Amino acid sequence: MHTLAAFAYLRIIKLKFEKIPLSISEHISLLKGRDLTISDEGRCAKYLKHIGYYRLSAYFLPYQTNDEHLFKPGTSFDDVLNLYIFDRKLRILFLDIIERIEISLRAQLIDSFCHAYGTHGYTDEELFKPRYDHKWLINKISKDITRSHESFIQHYLNTYTSPQLPPFWMVAQILSFSELSILIENIKDDSILNDMALSLNIHKPVFLSWLKSLSQLRNICAHHGRLWNRVFGIKPKTVKKPINLWKGLSFSSKSLRNAKNL
């Protein structure tokens, strides 16, 4: 019992941070001392200056052998750099895909919500679930429009006296994807959520789980976070039975049999 208690105590002991900042040349010496092959120190210094040692250190891990941070034999700085470049390209690829999904979701939400509840329906707290902080939404929009430099927001404020807040199709453009996804999740009217889910050929629960996951993924990509080898706190639900997977396509029984033989 005493041994377990001591072990638990040791695990929660906090240490005083005493590391000191190193220069680029000192970082290079440190890496070479850990058996990383650096054929061109000038080139290495350039990347360390513009990327940063700490940012690159996450990409050292698969090439290191133990707690001493020694690199596996034959590991070069280019190995680490290429992994970093791969991760950067992966983020760009995902951002391109997420952009299309995000724009589509905004357009569908605006269309469905405005036709159902009018241009300023979002100001009605009763249209959202009780758990949703609707007051926060209105305060956030009010603050955002006062400091916004978007021409469409300025035009509305300079042209109209009331309502004080812009219509939903403008508001939906200035809310972040994360803020918009939380708003979508908390709409009471299931028909709006079902229509948006149906546009992706999935059911509402799957749609909402994807929305959360895409929001987290987008934030990582947009803020240049590490995407490669990352553990996500939110896991999207699996599509077990898509709704009309072959929407818009028709197949004869013969063509389906031939497809199975490919």
For residue range 124-161, list pLDDT tens digits in order: 999 999 999 999 999 999 999 999 999 999 999 999 99
- Domain membership flag for residue 134: yes
The pLDDT of residue 11 is 60
What total of structural domains would you count in the chain? Answer: 1
For 49-101, how does the pLDDT look when each residue is reduced to its tens digit (9 = 90+)?
A: 999 999 999 999 999 997 789 999 999 999 999 999 999 999 999 999 999 99
Q: Which two tokens stand for residue 116?
A: 């159902």
Q: How far apart are CA 175 and CA 141, in angstroms?
A: 8
Q: What is the pLDDT confidence band of residue 249, given thresholds at 50, 70 and 90?
A: very low
Angle at 218 between CA 215 and CA 219, to 5 degrees: 85
Q: How far apart are CA 254 and CA 47, in angstroms?
A: 58
Q: What is the pLDDT confidence band of residue 255, given thresholds at 50, 70 and 90?
A: very low
- Domain membership flag for residue 184: yes
- Domain membership flag for residue 249: no
Q: How far apart are CA 120 and CA 139, in angstroms?
A: 15
Output 2 or 16, whichever has higher pLDDT.
16
- Domain membership flag for residue 33: no
- Domain membership flag for residue 235: yes
Q: Which amino acid is at 215?
A: S
- Give the pTM: 0.78
Phi, psi (deg, nearest 5) at residue 160: -115, 140
Q: What is the pLDDT confidence band of residue 38, given thresholds at 50, 70 and 90?
A: very high
Identify which of 198, 203, 148 has the alpha carbon closest to the alpha carbon of residue 173. 148
The residue to which tokens 């105590």 are assigned: 9
The pLDDT of residue 86 is 97
Q: How far apart are CA 82 and CA 253, in angstroms?
A: 48
Domain ranges, residue 210: 89-244
- Domain membership flag for residue 147: yes
- Domain membership flag for residue 74: no
Q: How far apart are CA 30 and CA 14, in angstroms?
A: 26
What is the SS3 assignment for the chain? CHHHHHHHHHHCCCCCCCCCCCCHHHHHHHHHHCCCECCCHHHHHHHHHHHCHHHHHCCCHHHECCCCCCECCCCEHHHHHHHHHHHHHHHHHHHHHHHHHHHHHHHHHHHHHHHHHCCCHHHCHHHECCCCCHHHHHHHHHHHHHHCCCHHHHHHHHHCCCCCCCCHHHHHHHCCHHHHHHHHHCECCHHHHHHHHHCCCCCHHHHHHHHHHHHHHHHHHHCCCCCCCCCCCCCCCCCCCCCCCCCCCCCCHHHHHHHHCC
For 221-243, how does the pLDDT look when each residue is reduced to its tens digit (9 = 90+)?
A: 999 999 999 988 878 888 777 66
- Domain membership flag for residue 206: yes
